[in-house]
Amino acid sequence: MPRKKDMGRNANGLGNIRKKTVTKNGKQYTYWEARCTVGYDPGTGKQIQKSISGKTQKEVAQKLKEMALQVDQGSYKAPSRMTLKDWLEIWQKDYLSDVKESTAYLYGRNIALYIIPHLGAVKLDKLTTHQIQSMYNDLLHPEEEGVNPLSPKTVRNIHGVLHKALGQAVEDKHLRFNLSEACKLPKVEEREMPTFEDNQVLDFLKAIEGHPYEYLYKVALFTGIRRGELLGVTWDCVDLEKGTLFVKKQIQKKRQKGGKYYFDSTKNSKDRTLVLAPSIVELFRLQKNKQDAMRAKAGDKWVEHNMVFTRDNGFYFSPSTAYNAFKRVVTKMGAPDIRFHALRHPNVKPKTQIFSITKIPDYHDKTIQDFCFVFLLLIKLLIHYVPLINV
């Protein structure tokens, strides 16, 4: 495709703008082109120039002026062929080393299931806020038949992932600002988690008497420890003499098929020591006796991991196994909506109500709060079990 320069004189101050003519399929086309120095090669020191083209000299002059201003201000960003999908892959690979493995997995799911199918092919530097907003709207109210809408909370989670990824793109100078900042997010309606009523707590305690996971469920109920944290407790974290429990890790399982177990830090990476009521210490003693019997029965097949709660052969106790067995118990009780997480509920929200009723001061120390709450709950259960006591 032959080209030739028009050697006519350019306007004053526009000496680096040239008029060009190109012949295509026997027909001549004319356009204007300019070149702007946008930086220097760090290795050779040579100028890095970018071309600007347009139909008229005035159009190119305006583009050149804007580009030169951006270069002077340090805000110029060269056009890139990188797509949003390309950047998200880079972000996952190089910028998530400081997040928990389970968190990185959830980020990856949101990216693979929702963000890439909607916006993955869009050039990163061409992405717009409206495109992002349209994706959120489509996820909330899909027009395609057979596609289920996502909840506002899930859409907010997806936004959180994209916002973080685009924020890093801004820091890396791939974008000038975070395009997701201006998006309007759906409102999440807070729903109260189904919890045990007073009589249901008693029914639950009766239902798990003699259950293989009786001590696990009772410790969860009376301490408020999260499921993963409780299953991650090792015997070196339990002091039966002092009556304390040190919570410093949780057990997780890799999400992929055949994933292995691993230890992770606690939620918010905050370790804590709980002061245990004597009755809770006794539960740990009973669990230790039970485990000694399992170890003796397993013999050479026993795998020692120093875990408090284990399978019959000493291997890690699966969080899903604990959850599924719990659901079978509460379903049989007629309370199928109760989740395992509800076992810790009396240790967080209703606790303040119990304190106010009994006029116990609002201690800031979490271990003292847990100790007082367990004591009060045991008294409350004792009142139910011993009808001769009149309150």
Q: Percent of the chain beyond pLDDT 70?
A: 82
Give the count of domains, the chain: 3
Tokens standing for residue 324 = 């599924």
Residues 221 and 269 in one domain: yes
Q: What is the residue type of 275?
A: V
Same domain? 152 vs 300: no
- Judge whether 307 lies within some domain: yes
- Lowest-pLDDT choice from 151-160, 313-322, 341-350: 341-350
Higher local confidence (pLDDT), 360 or 85: 85
CB pairs under 8 A, 24+ apart, for 127-136?
127/84, 127/175, 127/179, 128/179, 129/179, 129/180, 129/181, 129/182, 129/183, 132/162, 132/179, 132/180, 132/183, 133/183, 133/184, 136/183, 136/185, 136/186
Q: Write out the residue range of the structural domain in which residue 309 sits.
A: 198-385
CATH no. for residue 162?
1.10.150
Please check whether residues 214 and 275 belong to one and the same domain.
Answer: yes
Instruction: For residue 300, give the 3-state DSSP assignment.
Output: helix
Other C-beta atoms closer than 10 Å to the C-beta of 237 total: 17
223 within domain boundaries: yes
pLDDT digits (tens, 9 = 90+) for 132-174: 999 999 999 998 888 899 999 999 999 999 999 999 999 998 9
Per-residue pLDDT band at 347 (split at 50, 70, 90): low
Please indicate, yes or no, if residue 230 is contained in any of the structural domains. Answer: yes
Does 17 share its domain with 151? Answer: no
Residue 106 covered by a domain: yes
Average pLDDT over residues 296-308: 92
CATH number at residue 257: 1.10.443.10
Whether residue 177 lies inside any domain: the answer is no
Last residue of a domain, one of 155, 171, 187: 171
Of 43, 73, 103, the residue that ends a domain is: 73
- Residue 337 pLDDT exceeds 60: yes
Three-class DSSP category at 343: helix
Q: Give all strands (DSSP E) within the chain, no chain letters.
A: 3-6, 17-24, 27-40, 47-54, 238-239, 244-247, 249-253, 261-265, 272-275
Domain shared by 245 and 307, yes or no:
yes
Contacts of 232 (CB under 8 A, 6+ apart): 249, 250, 251, 263, 307
Q: Which residue, of 73, 99, 133, is where some domain finishes? A: 73
pLDDT score, position 357: 31
- Does 140 lie in the same domain as 55? no
Tell me, yes or no, whether 35 and 110 share the same domain: no
Q: Which residue has the higher pLDDT, 197 or 366?
A: 197
Q: Do residue 271 and residue 341 come from a single domain?
A: yes
Q: What is the pLDDT of residue 371?
A: 53
- 295, two tokens: 């170890």
| pLDDT confidence bin for 377, thresholds 50/70/90 | low
Model confidence band, residue 316 (pLDDT cutoffs 50, 70, 90): confident
Rounded to whole angstroms, the Cα distance separating 304 from 316 reads 10
Tens digits of per-residue pLDDT, 18-41? 888 888 888 888 889 988 888 788
**pLDDT at residue 98 tops 70:** yes
Residue 273, Cα to own-chain centre: how many angstroms?
Answer: 26
Q: Are 31 and 38 in contact (CB under 8 A)?
A: no
Q: What angle do CA 119, 170, 96 make, to 5 degrees?
A: 75
